[in-house]
Structure 1
Amino acid sequence: MKKIALVLILCLTLSSCNKNDDNIIQNNQYIPDIAFDTGELINLSLPQYSDLRFAGNHYITPSNYGVNGVVVYNAGNNNFSAFELTDPNHALRNCSTLTVEGVLATCDCDDSKTYDILTGQPQEGTTGIYGLKRYFVEKTGDIIRVWNN
Structure 2
Amino acid sequence: MKSLKYIFCFTFLVACSGNTENENCKFLLDINVNTSINLSLPQYSQLQFDTQSIYIPNFGNGGIIVTNAVTNYLAWDASDPNHAPSSGCHLEISGLEATCSCGDGNTYSLINGQPLNGSTLVCGLKNYRIDKSGNNLLISNY
Q: TM-score range by the shorter chain?
A: 0.7 to 0.9
In the alignment, does 2:68 pair up with 1:74? Answer: yes
Tell me the distance in 2 between the aligned counterparts of 1:101 and 1:20: 38
Name the % identity. Answer: 39
Runs of 4+ in 1 over 6 A off after TM superposition: none
2:124 matched residue in structure 1: 131
Structure 1 residues 129-138 or 92-101, which shifts more? Answer: 92-101
User: Deviations for 1:27-82, whole angstroms, at most 9, x for unmatched residues?
Assistant: 8310000002113xx111222221111111112112x21111000100113x0110
Instruction: Report the secondary structure of 1:135's partner residue.
Output: strand
Please list, as runs of the form range in 1=range in 2, the aligned pairs for 1:1-149 lying within 5 A after superposition: 22-24=20-22, 28-39=25-36, 42-62=37-57, 64-77=58-71, 79-94=72-87, 96-149=89-142
Unaligned runs of at least 5 residues, structure 1? 1-17
> Relative to 1, partners in 2 of residues 1:21 and 1:113: Cα closer, same or farther, differing over 3 Å?
farther
Structure 1 residues 105-114 or 87-96, which shifts more? Answer: 87-96
Question: How many residues are aligned here?
Answer: 127
Calculate the aligned-residue CA RMSD, in Å: 2.2
**Structure number with larger C-alpha Rg:** 2
Task: Compute the TM-score of the two structures, normalised by the length of structure 2.
Answer: 0.79
The answer (yes or no) to whether the contact 2:66–2:74 under 8 Å persists in 1 is yes
Tell me the distance in 2 between the aligned counterparts of 1:86 and 1:19: 29
Unaligned runs of at least 5 residues, structure 2? 1-15
